[in-house]
Structure 1
Amino acid sequence: MREDATEPESKLVRAWQLAVLRFAVTLDDDDQMHALAVAGEVDRLAAAADDAFHFFRRTTAELCAAISGQGADRDAVIQRFLAQIDNVRLKRAVEAAIVKERTPPKLVASRFKSGNDLWRGLPSRRATET
């Protein structure tokens, strides 16, 4: 019975984690506002009787600042967030999105040299005409 009572809360916490991931990927102000809105919903649900509960909103503000590269304790804030994610795929996605130095993947086409190597490796016509 207890699991049924916490299911909406766990889905909302997962939605919050995904909203933070989306902000980490896009770094867009609208996505940051969405993450803060979802955090407000989690806080509202978690503190039905206590209006002073602002854990998720405060944490989201810290996370967004850390993801944006602001704050002296950037790495500690991000590590605390990653430690709380129980889904391995989500954790990997967040880690990949938050990497300090994002390098674009090299294109496969860049391996090929331009030139007349199109027919290299194929037997010549002279060898097949015999």
Structure 2
Amino acid sequence: MRSETATEPQGRLLRAWQLAVLRFAVTLDDDDRMHVLAVAGEVDRLSGASEDSFHFFRRTTAEMCQAIAGQDAHGETVIQRFLAQLDNPRLRRAFEAAITKDRTPPKIVTSRLKPGNDLWRGLPSRRTGT
């Protein structure tokens, strides 16, 4: 139980980092880029990395931001590697939707949209046969 307690803050911080990356993917705003880099620095600090050591999350975040913004020739590879590491299917789908070039709704959403007004179809009528 002690090991679960020790990794709980790391898990929450990792989730915060993933959500910050998603937010940047949606907004492409420089403030969100700076926020995700700050969260990455916190994850690296929490993992015990010293100032002069290799900073995995900072480096990965910089690569992700460049790939999302379309400033990296190998951006698709970086993004696919990030997607493969996401364990939450809803977060993965949200990220995929955020980085699509044409911003069309994913197939799962478009299959739910129905043309016409079929709201009451299939329900019994209120008319009583008196």
Letter in 2 for 1:14: R
Q: Offset at 1:24?
A: 0.2
Unaligned runs of 5+ in 1: 105-110, 113-130
User: In percent, how many aligned pairs have the same letter?
Assistant: 71
Query: Distance in 2 between the 1:15 and 1:59 partners?
Result: 15
The structure with the largest alpha-carbon Rg is 1
CA RMSD of aligned residues (A): 2.0
**Unaligned residue ranges in structure 2 (runs of 5+):** 106-114, 117-130
User: Which residue identity lines up with residue 91 of structure 1 in the other structure?
Assistant: R
User: Partner of 1:84 in structure 2?
Assistant: 85
- 3-state secondary structure, aligned to 1:22: helix
Structure 1 moving runs of 4+ over 6 Å: none
TM score, norm. by length of structure 1: 0.76
Q: Is the 8 A contact 1:32 1:64 kept in 2?
A: yes
TM-score by length of 2: 0.76
- TM-superposed CA distance for 1:4, in Å, is 0.9
**1:42 and 1:56 in contact (8 A); partners too:** yes
How big is the shift at 1:53? 3.2
User: One-letter code of the match for 2:93?
Assistant: R
**Which residue does 2:112 correspond to in 1?**
none
| Count of aligned positions | 107
Instruction: Give the match for residue 107 of structure 1.
Output: none
